[in-house]
Structure 1
Amino acid sequence: MLTLTPNAAQVIKDLTAQQDVEAAGIRISSQGDDQGALVLSMATAPEPTDAVVETEGARVYLDPVAASVLDDKSLDADTDGQGGVAFHVTD
């Protein structure tokens, strides 16, 4: 299952705190094309088929394809001085 670094968990909590929904998180889903690309978006709740990863109060929802692709990976995040966020996946 995907793991979150402490930094990624904090960034996700900061992002979802801006929404006034208790189950808010980020969702990683497949684009449905043959390229294998994944898309990250804000979500108020998981979809019925999503796997849920929760670390230190940060929630990530993964569609079945993303859950399979990211099964043995770790999600990390960086922020820049202007409030921008970059997520990256490591082995």
Structure 2
Amino acid sequence: MLTLTENASSLIKNLAEQTPVADDAGLRISTTDAESTNFTVDFTSTPEPTDKVIENAGARVFLEENAAVALDDKVLDAQVDAEGSVRFAIGAAA
């Protein structure tokens, strides 16, 4: 299962709180193919019925079925750059 670093959890939670979609909003990650490394990332108010939901320290991540397969043994990290842009990174689980 995808795991979140402390930074990723904190940033996702903070961004969700600033997004006017819903109180239980989350970051949704999707892809067209389980073998793909091209992901679409959006904030949404609720997961799709087939999404896998990951919750960590108040952060919610919704994984579309293909993304859940592709990210099963990965770690999601996040950082804010000097311009204030959030950058997500995916790495191998330790």
Quote the residue 1:83 is aligned against: 84
Gaps of 5+ in 1: none
Q: How does 1:20-39 map to 2 (within 5 A)?
A: 20=20, 21-30=22-31, 32=32, 36=36, 37-39=38-40
2:42 partner letter: S
Give the superposition deviation at 1:22.
Answer: 1.6
Q: Deviations over 1:26-45 (max 9, x none)?
A: 00001x26982211111111
Quote the residue 2:15 is aligned against: 15
Quote the residue 1:74 is aligned against: 75
Gaps of 5+ in 2: none
Q: Deviations over 1:31-66 (max 9, x none)?
A: x26982211111111000000000001000000000
Q: How does 1:1-12 map to 2 (within 5 A)?
A: 1-12=1-12
Q: What is the RMSD computed on CA atoms of the aligned residues? A: 1.6
Quote the residue 2:60 is aligned against: 59
Q: Structure 2 vs 1, CA of residues 58 and 85 (structure 1 numbering), >3 Å: closer, same or farther?
A: same
Number of aligned positions between the proteins: 90
Query: Partners of 1:8 and 1:33 in 2: how far apart?
Result: 24
Q: Secondary structure at the match of 1:61?
A: strand
1:42 partner letter: F
- Normalising by structure 1, report the TM-score: 0.91
- Normalising by structure 2, report the TM-score: 0.88
